[in-house]
Amino acid sequence: MKVSLNWLKDYLEITESPDDVSDRLTALGLEASYVSTGKTFTDVVLGYVINCGPHENADKLSVCKIDIGDGNHYTIVCGAPNVKADIYVPIAKVGASLQNGSFKIKQAKLRGVESSGMICSGKELEINDDHSGIMILDTDAKLGTPIEDFLEFNDDVIFELDLTPNRGDCLSHLGVARELAINNNLSIPNRKIDFNESKVTNDSDYKISIKDSEACPRYCARLIKGVKVAASPDWLVQRLKSIGQASINNIVDAANYVLMDTGHPMHTFDFDKVSNHEINVRYAKNGEKFKTLDDKERELKDFHLLICDSEKPIALAGIMGGANSEITSDTTDILIESAYFSPTVVRKGAKSLDLSTEASRRFERDTDINGLIPALNQLSALIVEIAGGEIVEGFIDEYPLKKEPFKIDFSLKNCESLLGLSISNEQIEEIFSSLQITFEKDTNLYKCTIPTFRNDLEREVDLFEEVARVIGYDNIPPAHNFSGSYSSFVQDDQKLDSLLRSHLSSNSFHEHFSNSLQSQKDVEKFSKAEAVIIKNPLSQDMEFVRNSIIPGLLKAADYNAKRQEKGFKLFEIGAVHNQSKKSDTGSKEKFQLGLLWYGKEQSHWRTYEQRDIFSCKGEISNLLVSVGIDSISFKLGDQLGYANAMKVYSGKTQIGTLGSLDLAIIKEYGLKISPLFCEISLQTLREIWINRKINYRAPISYPSVVRDIALQVDNKVSAESLLKTIRVEGGTNLVDIKLFDVYQSDEVGDNNKSLAFSLRFQSESGTLTDSEVDDDVEKVLNSLKETHGTTQR
């Protein structure tokens, strides 16, 4: 909402600076900023270029001799391409200030030449946006005349208010003026209307009937005869222009002006086009068609409220008039509608047509039902003033559903205890009267009556806010003690996430946050679970809520690969969703951890990091063990979207999948190198983590004995199965097993491999003897031979 300072001055005497006004509005909850319009400079006068020559040290500069009529000639260096001798120009004298003081003109030396002032462009003077050259003036004014004396400036300050939806009353100059009068010892603003009904009696009868009084509790109208539709007078054009409203014609502009002034939207009908001079307010029929004055035909539903004549709809109530009854240059008689429509009805109607107008915005936010007649009279008077004609005597006021002002009981004690502030009775009473709230005192209560323009004040607590607002939020001292009970504690099951993040970030993973709104392609690739569809998506590639953590990471990998990043690791922790009939929201939310390894790390003179499925296995085991999850194992399996996949287990619980993705999919995401990928179900992990235990055992003080064994075995036998046998058969003294070599060669044969294990034995009861260990190793070897057909090398 734009508000003009000059306009506000119709209501109030305002002497404060724009800064102060803006701060005061903001402190009252009407967040304000402002721009000054009109003249933004001082000391700019008319000058004449006597001569103009090149600057000896700069190609693009000219040196000019200037006459400003004071008997002196000034040298001014100018960079504009259009400067030449024998032209009249605006000269900013030394000491001039431009653009509200952003620039000060000083005596200066430019590339060795003294310059006493500046020749200005239109943009520098904020007269227009032209910065292609200096302004060349065509005037017969005397040299040295301040340029504001012969150019026109409309000095004003325009406030831009960012209003909250509860303050519909401030969508007008009157409303803002009321706020400015609070706490400022100013009288309560009111517009005086110079209003004369003519003696022309009502020879053309018109009738109003309201079919639904809930939707339209009150409808007033007046008739004006013999107007002349023409252009608006300058002052009106200027006023509307200052707040960004275009001028149409005197009738439309007058209605617009009163709207911006009082906040009450009214509509003007061409009376001749109202069949039978009848106004009926009724709901539309489903499918009824109506052409609004923006020339669009609209199909209506049964909740759209219509203003109709005896035959046809002529306006969408509170939203927009119809093309069929609009004011044209031929119009002479005008019927003015000043009505109150239900905020919900207007909002529902406007929303479903996606049609928001100045009128609908105000009706939606509720209007002043007692403001109908003053606004109607003000508009009538204005039309007659600027378009001629006569106001027909009398008006219609259909008011089937009387609306009473809100009454609220206010307890000062309750107010004090909510705000944490003590307030005197005098202070409260002063606050009430500055808000035009009338009251009766009743022992501990104030029985308040709320003015009808403040529809947002319905409950006691709303008045508490008003009290705080008028006192000023900043004048309520903050409490410096925090007093809370200790009985509010909740377990944070997502604490694990921080541990994972911290481990991963110290192990060269970067955390990624991806867009969880994805395309159909994204949600079909990696999960069979049906993704949740958005009814009103921003675009087709954001039609679904993600059902897998993978696509977001792939897109990030592609983004980085295209920016010459050769090797990186990414992770993301986030929610994924799929449809689920069982839940109230028709969807199920799960949290996932996704890890992505792309390319190789940079090579280095000492090391070269090898990245393959085994390095990833190691990293995942390390991650899980470091956050307290053990018994990690991996088993081959199939997974949608993967070319090779291993399921990750903790004990018997599957917690995730590790592998390489399908190459065809990788290509679709624009990647040339296939990244490795791991997804882990955080839900499952959190459950395991919450129940984790550390099984402490005292360190053994006796020495350990290490034995290495090398085995030759068929390729098909897995290392894991060998390890399992060793672990089981090694006995209680076997404390550690390491697989330290895997070897394939002609020597061991095509179908065989050789694996070397290092076994460490240690006992809590004493130093082990060779023969004790020999026995254990023998047992292991025999069992390996029996179960897996190994031979010892």
List the interface residues with other proteins, window 465-484 (CB under 8 A): 465, 468-469, 473-474, 476-484
| Closer Cβ to other proteins, 388 or 574, answer by number | 574
**Total Cβ atoms within 10 A of residue 493:** 14
Q: Shortest distance, CB of residue 696 to other proteins, whole angstroms?
A: 29
Tokens for 44, please give them. Answer: 């700019």
| Closer Cβ to other proteins, 203 or 492, answer by number | 492
Site for other proteins contains 287 (CB under 8 A): no
Site for other proteins contains 537 (CB under 8 A): yes
Compute and round to an integer the Cα radius of gyration of the chain: 41
Tokens for 401, please give them. Answer: 């559903």
| Closer Cβ to other proteins, 455 or 650, answer by number | 455
Count the helix, strand and coil residues of the chain and give each as a percent rounded to the nearest 5: 30, 30, 40
| Closer Cβ to other proteins, 611 or 785, answer by number | 611
Binding to other proteins (CB under 8 A) within 249-268 occurs at none
**Total Cβ atoms within 10 A of residue 328:** 10
Closest Cα to residue 238, out of 357, 173, 155, 170? 155
DSSP state of 146: B
Alpha-carbon span 100 to 744, nearest angstrom? 84
Alpha-carbon span 61 to 29, nearest angstrom? 51
Question: b/e map of 103-134 (b: 16 or more CB within 10 Å)?
Answer: eebeeeebeebebbbbbbbbebbbbeeeeeeb
CB 602 within 8 A of CB 567: yes
Site for other proteins contains 28 (CB under 8 A): yes
How many residues in the shown chain lie near other proteins by CB under 8 A? 102
| Closer Cβ to other proteins, 72 or 485, answer by number | 485
Q: Shortest distance, CB of residue 441 to other proteins, whole angstroms?
A: 23
| Closer Cβ to other proteins, 58 or 418, answer by number | 418
Among 15, 72, 424, 485, binds other proteins (CB under 8 A): 485
Q: Interface with other proteins by CB under 8 A: which range of 212-220, 243-251, 570-578, 720-728?
A: 570-578
Q: Shortest distance, CB of residue 110 to other proteins, whole angstroms?
A: 28
Q: Shortest distance, CB of residue 587 to other proteins, whole angstroms?
A: 5
CB 217 within 8 A of CB 399: yes
Helix (H, G, I), strand (E, B) or coil at 138: coil
Site for other proteins contains 16 (CB under 8 A): no
Among 55, 273, 555, 753, binds other proteins (CB under 8 A): 555
Alpha-carbon span 34 to 78, nearest angstrom? 33
| Closer Cβ to other proteins, 27 or 323, answer by number | 27
Binding to other proteins (CB under 8 A) within 588-607 occurs at 589, 601-602, 604-607
Q: Shortest distance, CB of residue 509 to other proteins, whole angstroms?
A: 4
Binding to other proteins (CB under 8 A) within 370-399 occurs at none
DSSP for 615-647, written as a single string: HHHHHHHHHHHHTT---EEEEEE--TTEEEEEE
Helix (H, G, I), strand (E, B) or coil at 151: coil
Tokens for 113, please give them. Answer: 């030449």
Query: Do strands 207-210 and 278-283 pair parallel, antiparallel, or not at all (unpaired)?
Result: parallel
| Closer Cβ to other proteins, 15 or 602, answer by number | 602
Q: Shortest distance, CB of residue 193 to other proteins, whole angstroms?
A: 30
Alpha-carbon span 189 to 11, nearest angstrom? 5
Q: Shortest distance, CB of residue 596 to other proteins, whole angstroms?
A: 10
Tokens for 290, please give them. Answer: 């109506």
Site for other proteins contains 582 (CB under 8 A): no
| Closer Cβ to other proteins, 411 or 654, answer by number | 411
Site for other proteins contains 462 (CB under 8 A): yes
Tokens for 472, please give them. Answer: 């000023």
| Closer Cβ to other proteins, 198 or 580, answer by number | 580
Q: Interface with other proteins by CB under 8 A: which range of 25-33, 253-261, 397-405, 678-686?
A: 25-33
Tokens for 391, please give them. Answer: 């106001």
- What angle in degrees, to the nearest 10, is found between the helix axes of 250-262 and 173-181? 30
Tokens for 516, please give them. Answer: 């969880």
Site for other proteins contains 27 (CB under 8 A): yes
Alpha-carbon span 3 to 257, nearest angstrom? 12
List the x/- string, 110-149, binding to other proteins by CB under 8 A: ----------------------------------------
Among 10, 31, 390, 409, binds other proteins (CB under 8 A): 31
Binding to other proteins (CB under 8 A) within 152-191 occurs at 164-168
Among 192, 563, 693, 697, binds other proteins (CB under 8 A): 563
| Closer Cβ to other proteins, 185 or 602, answer by number | 602
Q: Shortest distance, CB of residue 682 to other proteins, whole angstroms?
A: 12
Tokens for 372, please give them. Answer: 């109908």
Site for other proteins contains 542 (CB under 8 A): yes
Q: Interface with other proteins by CB under 8 A: which range of 270-278, 320-328, 340-348, 442-450?
A: 340-348
CB 710 within 8 A of CB 755: yes
Helix (H, G, I), strand (E, B) or coil at 791: strand
Q: Shortest distance, CB of residue 609 to other proteins, whole angstroms?
A: 8
DSSP for 349-390, written as a single string: HHHHHT---HHHHHHHT---GGGHHHHHHHHHHHHHHHH--E
| Closer Cβ to other proteins, 267 or 347, answer by number | 347
- Look at the chain and count its residues: 793
CB 656 within 8 A of CB 681: yes
Binding to other proteins (CB under 8 A) within 350-369 occurs at 351, 364-365
| Closer Cβ to other proteins, 165 or 287, answer by number | 165
Among 516, 650, 762, 790, binds other proteins (CB under 8 A): 516
Q: Interface with other proteins by CB under 8 A: which range of 260-268, 572-580, 672-680, 739-747?
A: 572-580
Site for other proteins contains 87 (CB under 8 A): no
Q: Shortest distance, CB of residue 383 to other proteins, whole angstroms?
A: 30
| Closer Cβ to other proteins, 566 or 635, answer by number | 566
CA–centroid distance for 689 within its chain: 37
Closest Cα to residue 244, out of 501, 580, 489, 2? 2
Q: Shortest distance, CB of residue 270 to other proteins, whole angstroms?
A: 31
Binding to other proteins (CB under 8 A) within 707-736 occurs at none
3-state secondary structure 111-129: CCEEECCEECECCCCCCCC
Binding to other proteins (CB under 8 A) within 494-513 occurs at 494, 498, 501-502, 504-513
| Closer Cβ to other proteins, 62 or 527, answer by number | 527
Distances (CA, A) of 231 to 228, 257, 297, 472: 10, 14, 28, 45
CA–centroid distance for 755 within its chain: 61
Site for other proteins contains 57 (CB under 8 A): no
Binding to other proteins (CB under 8 A) within 749-778 occurs at 770
Site for other proteins contains 20 (CB under 8 A): no
**Block residue for tokens 């897996």:** 788
DSSP state of 401: S
Among 109, 203, 244, 490, binds other proteins (CB under 8 A): 490
- Provide the total of helices (H) and of strands (E) in the chain, helices listed first: 19, 40
Among 260, 553, 682, 685, binds other proteins (CB under 8 A): 553
